Chains A and B, each alone.
Chain A
Amino acid sequence: MATDVRQQTIFDDAKQPAPAPLQTDAFLNVGTGAIGRTVSTKFEPNTSSKFLFWLAKQREKVGPSLEIGNIVAAKSDDEADVTFGTIVEMRAYSDVDSFIADYLSHNFGDATIEVPTDVSEVVVVTCNVMRNLSLKTKPLGRSQVFFPSEVGIRYAYGIVDACGQTIFTGAAIPIGVFENGDGTVANVAVDEDFVIGPEGAHLNVSGISGLASKTSAVQFIIKSLLTHTRKSIAVVMFNVKSRDLLYIDQPNSRTVDDAWSKAAYSKLAIALEPFQGARFFAPANPNSPQGTQSLRSLLTERFQWDLQLIKNDIPTLFDADDWDDKMEGTWYRIREQIETTPLITYANMMDWIEKTIERATSGNQWLYGQHVATWNKMAGRLRSFPRSYKGLIATAGKGLDIPWQNLKRGDVYVVDIQMLTDRGKKLVFGRAVRELSDLMESEHKQLDAVVVFVDELNKFAPGGNVRTPLKSRLVDITSRGRSMGLVLVGAEQFASSVEKEIIENCSTYLFGRTEANELRSPNYAAFSDEIKTKLMMLPQGSLLAKFAKFPQPIFVRFPFPPCTPGDQYKATP
C-alpha cells in the first residue's frame, strides 16, 4: 500500500466538508473575450504586487471603456489561477525611438503628411494586484486578461471567497456599486464589524465642497447601515451648516425620478425612504423661549442647559488664553459653592459671585485666596456666556437637554448647530460626545453602537500641534471607540486639515473630488498619479473608497440620498 508522505498538519483533524469552489471561468466575463495578455520585461518585470498587460488589438472595442480604477482578471495559461488587479496606469507606446525619429517619419517635419502604415502602437496597462484564487503571494506568469464577472469583482475586493460565499464576519453594508469597463456592475459592501466595531470603526469622507457629494454619500451610507446592520444602533447627526440635514425625514423626489438611483437602491436592497421618525433638536430661541433657532420649518425640539447641566462644561467655554491657574482656582471655589449652597440657576451663581466681589475692600483685595481682579475677570466672562452661547445657557428656570438616554435602536437624532458660533458648535458637539461616551460606557446600555456624524470635522479636530479637550476626546474615541460602540463619521474638505490620528484610525475612508494641492499631502501618497488625476476630475456621485479589508481602493458610485437635501426642501402649501 502506498504510504501517504504528506506532512500532517494541525488542521487535519479539523477538516470540515467545504463548499466546492466556483469554476475559474465563473470569475471572468468570458463573453467579452480576452482583452490582453500579461507582459513582463527585463526592465519592468511583473511582481507579486504589480503586473502589466498589453491591450489586445480589439481595443477599439474595449479601449474607450477601459480606464483607471477598472478591475481586470488575469487567467494563467495553465488555467490554474486567476489574479485580479486594479488599473493604476495606462501608457501608450509606439516603436518610435525618439522625437527625432517621429519627426523624420513625417518626412522631416511635415505635420500634414499621410502615410500608408500606422506606426505600431501598444497600450500597456499597469495593475496593482488585489487578490488571486490561489491566495499565494507570487509574481504573475503568462496569462490572458479578461474583465472579471460580478462575482470576480466581489472576490477581488475580499467580499466573497472562492466559493462565492461572503467572508465578512459582520453584516455586509453596501456603500455603492462598482461599474467596470465592460459594464459589469457589482455591489460594493463593507464589513459591519469594521464600520461600527468591534474589529474596526469610523468612517471619513473628504472632498471639495459642493462637488464631492460628501453629505449625500454619508446619508446614503447611514441609510444602508440602518437597513443592513444586524446590531442595535442609533444615529446622531450634527447639522453644522445651512439646512444640510434638516429635512432628512422628507422624501427626495430627485431620487425617485432618477432611474439609475432607483435601480441602485433596489440592487442594494435598501428601501428608498427617508429617515422616518428622525428627531430634530436645536438651541432654544432667546426671543421665544418655547421655540428654537433652527432653520427647519417642521417640528424641532429645543434644548437649553441650566447651571446644573452646564456646570461641568463651563471651563471649556473660556478662551485658552484666559484659563490660567488663577482662573481655575477661582472656578474651583465657585463650583464648590454651586454644590454646597446649592446654587440652582445661572443667575443664582452670578448673584453669589457679585456679592462675593462686593465684600472686597481697599484693605482686603483677596477673596478665597484669589485677588479680586481675578474674580472680576471671572464674573465678566461668565456674564458674557449666555450672550455669546446664544440660546444654549438658561440663566433662569429649568434647562432641557437632548434626551440621550432615550436613544434606542434605529433612532436618528439631528442636532442643528449651524446658527452657533464655532465655540458654540464645539460646546454642543463636545457635550454630546461626552454624554454619548458615558451612555455607551454605562453598564445598562441597550445599544451596540451610536454613529455620530459631523461635517467640517477639521473645526472640531484640526490637524497640527494644537491640543484641545475636544480634539483629545475625539482622538480617544477613534482609537478606542470601536470597542465601546461610539462611531465617528466625519466629513471635511481636506483630510490633511484633520488630526492625523483620527484619519488613521478610520477603517473606511471615502475620497470625493479633491484639489491638486491637497493631493500632494501624505494622505494620498499611496495613490498613483493617474488615480490622483482621476480624483481631481471625479464626477459627483462617485467616490474612491478605501476600506480596511479591501486590498486596493475602489471607485464606487452611489445613488442620490433617500432624503431631501435641506436646500431643496419646499414646504407643502
Chain B
Amino acid sequence: MNGNVSLRKAKEFITAEGGEVAPLSVTEEELNPDVQDDMTLHAEALEKMDVYDVPYEYPKDSDCSEFRFFEDGRQRTIQIGHIRAKYGENLILIPVHFFIVAAVILERQEGKLELWKGPLIEHGILVPKSLVPDQTVLTEFEKSGLAVVDTESQSGSPGDYYDMRRRALRRAKDHRLSIEQELIRQWRTDDRATDAFLVVDGTLMNMRDEQNVERCIGVSKSFGSRYFEISKHNEIMQMREFQRSWVFRFHGENDDLKKGVRERVSWYLRLRNRHGADPEFGLIRVEIAKKYIDVASERAERFSRSLLSERLPTAYPAPRWDKHLYPICGCEAYLGSIMPSIPTITAVMQG
C-alpha cells in the first residue's frame, strides 16, 4: 500500500469511527524537537586527555575518505484528527496520528551518490487501540492493509490527550529506529559492503544490535551534555580545525556494564573553523563500536582523516551546514523526496 492510499484509509478510519478529520499543519517532530544526543552518560578517557592534530594534510588529503556508505533515517508524525470515546464515565478525545518512517543508505561510486538499495519505508496510523470505540471497524481497517500501531500506555493516565500525543511521537521514533536497524542489518550482510564502514547520522546509542554497530561510524551534530569537567570540556570547545579530542568510552549512566549494556567509543572532531563563530562551529562527536576500545586512538586518527575529507563539499545553506556531511545531506534530501509533504497530507485529509 503506498503512502497516499494509506492516508486515504486513515481518513476513512477516522470518519468510520465517528471522529473528526482535522489535520495539523505541523508535525509532532517540529512541535517537539529533541536533541538526540542529549543523554546522561558516564564517560571515561581511553588516552591522555589532550587535543590531538589529526594527520590530515590539506589540500593533499581532501579526497582521502575511505567511506563509501552513508545512512540516515527520517520520520514524520502528524496529527490528522481525533475520535471521541468513552473512558469509564468520562468522554475523552483520542488523537489519531499518521506516521511515515523511512531509512536509506547511499553508496558513493566514483564520486557519485546512488541508492545502495531501495529505502525501507513504513506508514500507518498511531492510536491507543483499546480506547478506539468501535473495535470491529478497527479490525476491518487493519485487515484491509492499514498499519495501526498501538500507543497504549502501560502506566500513567491512558486517557490524557497530551500524553497520547507524546506517546505517538515516541512510537514513531521507535519505528524509525527499528527500520534503520533493519536496513543496517541488511547492509552488513551484503557482500559488496564487506569490510566497508557505514557513516550513520546521529548517535549509535539507539542501536541495540552490537553486530550492527560494529562497522558503523555515528556522527552527532548536536550535543547538550558535558561528559568531562568544565576545564577539559572547554579544551574541546577551543579545538582548532583538524584537531580531535582524546578518545573516551561511554555508556548510559545508570547502565551496569556487567550486564552487557550498550557502550561506545567516542571523540570530538573539529571539521572547520571560522573567525567569530560560536564554539560549536564545525564540531562533531564521532562514535564507533566498543570492540575498538583497544585500538581506539588508531581508529580515531584513521576515521577522523576520512571525516575531515568529507567536510567538502559543504551542505551550505542547510541548517548546521558547518558540521553536516554532504552525503548525509543527500540521504536527507532523498528521504524528503519520498515522504508525503505536510501540504499533501493536509490536502488528502481535506480533499
Q: Which of A102, A104, A116 contacts B310 (CB 8 A)?
A: A116
Q: A112 contacts which chain B residues (CB < 8 A)? A: 59
Whether B314 sits at the interface, judged by CB under 8 Å, is yes
CB-CB under 8 A from A119, the residues of chain B are 313, 326
Tell whether, in the assembled complex, residue B59 and residue A107 are in contact, meaning their CB atoms are under 8 Å apart: yes
Q: Is A113 an interface position by the 8 A CB rule?
A: yes
Q: What's the minimum C-beta distance from A97 to chain B, rounded to whole angstroms?
A: 5
Q: Are A120 and B330 in contact, with the CB atoms below 8 A?
A: yes
| Interface 9-mer from B36-44, B109-117, B188-196, B252-260 | B109-117
Check: B142 CB closer than 8 A to any chain A CB: no
- B327:A101 contact, CB within 8 angstroms: no
Q: Which residue in B59, B63, B314 is a CB contact (below 8 Å) of A105? A: B314
Q: A112-B59, A113-B62, A117-B111 are in contact. Are A101 and B317 (CB under 8 A)?
A: yes
Tell whether B203 is near chain A: CB-to-CB under 8 Å.
Answer: no
Q: Does A57 contact B (CB under 8 A)?
A: yes
Give the distance in Å from the alpha carbon of A120 to the alpha carbon of B329 in the complex. Answer: 11
Chain B residues, Cβ within 8 Å of A104: 314, 316
Q: Are A105 and B112 in contact (CB under 8 A)?
A: no
- Docked-complex contact A117 and B317, CB < 8 angstroms: no
Q: From residue A386, how far is it (CB to closest CB) to chain B in Å?
A: 79
Chain A, interface SS category: loop
B313 partner residues in chain A, CB cutoff 8 A:
102, 105-106, 115, 117, 119
- Chain A 108-127 residues near chain B, CB threshold 8 A: 110, 112-120
A97–B63 touching, CB < 8 Å: no
- How far is the CB of B334 from the nearest CB of chain A, in Å? 10
Cα of A370 to Cα of B314 in the assembled complex, Å = 93
Known A-B contacts A116-B108, A116-B111; A97 and B317 likewise in contact (beta carbons under 8 Å): yes
Give the residue of A57, A98, A117 whose beta carbon is less than 8 angstroms from that of B326: A117
Residue of A nearest to B329 (CB): A95
* Chain A nearest Cβ from B45, distance in angstroms: 31
Is B348 engaged at the interface, CB distance under 8 Å to the other chain? no
Cross-chain contact B111 with A113 (CB below 8 angstroms): no
Count of interface residues, chain B, beta-carbon cutoff 8 Å: 23
Q: Which residue, of B58, B317, B327, has the highest number of chain A Cβ atoms within 10 A? A: B317
In the assembled complex, the CB of A10 is this many whole angstroms from the nearest CB of chain B, namely 38
Q: Could you tell me if A110 and B59 are in contact, using CB atoms closer than 8 angstroms?
A: yes
Q: How far is the CA of A307 from the CA of B62 in the complex (A)?
A: 91
Asked if B207 lies at the interface with its beta carbon under 8 angstroms from chain A, I say no
* Contact present for A113 and B59 (CB under 8 Å): yes
Could you tell me the distance between the alpha carbons of A500 and B62 in the complex, rounded to whole angstroms? Answer: 62
> Which residue on A lies nearest to B112, using beta carbons?
A118
B333: interface (CB < 8 Å):
yes
How far is A372 from B59 in the complex, measured between Cα atoms in Å?
A: 98
What is the CB-to-nearest-CB distance from A564 to chain B, in angstroms, rounded to a whole number? 54
Interface centre among B312, B327, B330 (most CB of A within 10 A): B312
Indicate whether B309 reaches chain A with its CB closer than 8 angstroms. Answer: yes
- The answer to whether B65 has its CB under 8 Å from any CB of chain A is yes
Residues from chain A with a CB closer than 8 A to the CB of B108 are 116-117
Cα-based distance from A113 to B314 in the complex (angstroms): 13
B114 adjacent to A57 (CB under 8 Å):
yes
A117 to B317, CA, bound (A): 17
A114 CA to B110 CA, complexed, in Å: 12
Q: Tell whether, in the assembled complex, residue A114 and residue B62 are in contact, meaning their CB atoms are under 8 Å apart.
A: yes
Whether the Cβ atoms of B312 and A105 lie closer than 8 Å is yes
Contact residues of B between 268 and 311, Cβ < 8 Å to A: 309-310
Chain A residue at minimal CB-CB distance from B306: A116
Chain A residue contacts of B114, Cβ below 8 A: 57
Residue ID in chain B nearest A97 by CB atoms: B317
A106 CB contacts on chain B under 8 angstroms? 312-313
List of A residues within 8 angstroms of B314 by Cβ: 101, 104-105
* Chain B residues closer than 8 Å to A98, beta-carbon distance: 317
Cβ contact within 8 Å between B62 and A115: yes
CA distance A114 to B111 in the complex (A): 10
Interface string of B32-66 (1 = CB under 8 A from A): 00000000000000000000000000110011110
> Shortest beta-carbon distance, A224 to chain B, in Å?
48
How far apart sit A117 and B64, CA to CA, in the bound complex (Å)?
Answer: 11
B316 touches A95 (CB 8 A): no
Shortest C-beta distance, A106 to chain B (Å), equals 7
- Contact mask B83-117 → A, CB, 8 Å, 1/0? 00000000000000000000000001001111000
Known: A95-B333, A120-B113. A114 touches B63 (CB 8 A): yes
Q: Which residue of A lies closest to B333 (CB)?
A: A95
Report the Cα distance A113→B114, complex, angstroms: 23
In this complex, what residue of B is CB-closest to A115?
Answer: B312
Q: Which residue in A57, A102, A115 is a CB contact (below 8 Å) of B63?
A: A115
> For residue B327, which residues in chain A have a CB less than 8 angstroms away from its CB?
117
Closest to B330 in A: A120
A149 CB to nearest chain B CB (Å): 29
In the docked arrangement, what's the CA distance between A98 and B63, Å? 23
A105 to B329, CA, bound (A): 13
Instruction: Mark each residue of chain B from 312 to 343: 1 if its CB lies under 8 Å from any CB of chain A, else 0.
Output: 11101100000000110010010000000000
Chain B residues closer than 8 Å to A114, beta-carbon distance: 59, 62-63
A-chain residues with CB within 8 Å of residue B310 when the two chains form the complex: 116-117
Shortest beta-carbon distance from A93 to chain B in Å: 13
Inter-chain contacts of A117 with B (CB < 8 A): 108, 111-113, 310, 313, 326-327, 330
Of A102, A113, A115, A117, the most chain B CB neighbours within 10 A belong to: A117
Shortest A113–chain B CB gap in Å is 5
Residues of B near A115 (CB, < 8 A) are 62-63, 111, 312-313
The answer, among A57, A105, A110, A120, for a CB contact under 8 Å with B316, is A105
Could you tell me the distance between the alpha carbons of A102 and B326 in the complex, rounded to whole angstroms? Answer: 12
* Shortest Cβ distance from residue A40 to the other chain B in the assembled complex, whole angstroms: 14
Contact B65 A116 (CB under 8 A): yes
In Å, the complex CA distance between A362 and B343 comes to 102
- Cβ of A54 to closest chain B Cβ, rounded Å: 12
**A121 → chain B, closest Cβ, in Å?**
9
Q: Quick one: closest B residue to A94, CB to CB?
A: B313
* A97:B316 contact, CB within 8 angstroms: yes
Q: Decide if A116 touches B63 in the complex (CB within 8 Å).
A: yes
List B contacts of A102 (CB < 8 A). Answer: 313
CB distance from B57 to the nearest CB of A (A): 13
Within 8 A of A (CB), among B239-269: none
Closest CB of chain A to B163's CB: distance in Å?
38
B317: nearest chain-A partner, CB-CB: A97
Contact with B along A451-466 (1 / 0, CB 8 A): 0000000000000000
* Min C-beta distance of A141 to chain B, whole Å: 15
CA distance A116 to B113 in the complex (A): 10
Additional A-B contact list (11), CB under 8 Å, known A105-B312, A116-B65, A120-B330: A57-B112, A57-B114, A97-B317, A101-B314, A102-B313, A116-B63, A116-B64, A116-B312, A117-B310, A119-B313, A120-B333
The 4 nearest A-B residue pairs measured at CB: A105-B313, A118-B111, A116-B65, A101-B316
B residues touching A (Cβ–Cβ < 8 Å)?
Answer: 58-59, 62-65, 67, 108, 111-114, 309-310, 312-314, 316-317, 326-327, 330, 333
Which residue numbers of A lie inside 8 Å of B, CB to CB? 57, 95, 97-98, 100-102, 104-107, 110, 112-120
Offer 29 A-B interface pairs, CB within 8 angstroms, sorted by A: A57-B112, A57-B114, A97-B316, A101-B314, A101-B316, A105-B314, A107-B58, A107-B62, A107-B312, A113-B59, A114-B59, A114-B63, A115-B62, A115-B63, A116-B62, A116-B64, A116-B67, A116-B108, A116-B111, A117-B108, A117-B111, A117-B113, A117-B310, A117-B313, A117-B326, A117-B327, A118-B111, A119-B313, A120-B333
